[in-house]
Amino acid sequence: MDLSTLLLFVPACFALNLFPGPNNLVALANGQKQGFMVAWLAGLGRLLAFVVMIALAALGLAVILQTSELVFLGLKLVGAGYLFWIALQMWRTPAAAAESLAETPNRGVLALAQQEFLLAAGNPKAILIFTAFFPQFIDPGEGVGAQFAALGMVFLLLEWLVIAGYAACGHVLGNWLQQPRRRQWFNRGCASALAVAGVGLLASDRRG
């Protein structure tokens, strides 16, 4: 995978990771209630769910790309549209506070990890990331499995860093992040990053 591909993938991926969706709000709440280390380790449940999704998506994608590059082109266009759609949703997300999540009772790491796993596994947006977003950065002329694995490792590493960030923020700055106005700034910052990445992908001359 070349450097130009990673320069497009990493910021767009990181913006997706940063978006304050259900799992990140849970990490925020757990950090505030249980402490940084417990919330961070509980995030392993989320990563496990993502590993399963990435593996399943990679197997299906390999078959698709070996069958038709036209399908790959369609996936790339759908993925670019998905980036813009998510950016719009982020921009328009209500800046509601997360007090309800902050009321999580004290529980152990395993119970919280199970909560993270189930929440991630039941999130259809996560499946779309791996089936519509990842293919844009895959060169069908090279080893699909190896490329998907590399993107998956980068995604999981960034997700692990984001979990740490939300857990730390919940522990130290939970009240600051839960203020609606500041949540709105955060959402719109992520939306802008995704929109810029979408434009860059459409303007690129990569295959498809």
Report pLDDT digits (tens) over 26-72: 888 788 778 899 999 999 999 999 998 888 888 776 566 556 667 66
At 151 the pLDDT is: 92
At 102 the pLDDT is: 43
Report the amino acid identity of residue 97.
A
Chain-centre distance for alpha carbon 84: 15
Residue 31 · residue 174 · CB < 8 Å: yes
Residue 162 · residue 17 · CB < 8 Å: yes
* Gyration radius of the chain over CA positions: 17
Helices (H) and strands (E) in the chain, counts: 9, 0
At 71 the pLDDT is: 64
Q: What does the chain come to in residues?
A: 208
Kindly give the residue spans of alpha helices, DSSP state H, lying in the chain: 3-18, 22-34, 36-67, 69-92, 109-121, 124-128, 144-172, 174-177, 180-203
Question: What is the dihedral angle through the alpha carbons of 196, 55, 48, 183, rounded to the nearest 10 degrees?
Answer: 20
Residues of the chain under the 70 pLDDT cut:
1, 61-69, 71-76, 78-80, 82-83, 86, 90, 93-107, 123-125, 173-175, 177-178, 186-187, 190, 194, 197-198, 200-208
At 56 the pLDDT is: 82
- Identify the H or E element spanning 97: none
Residue with tokens 């993270």: 116
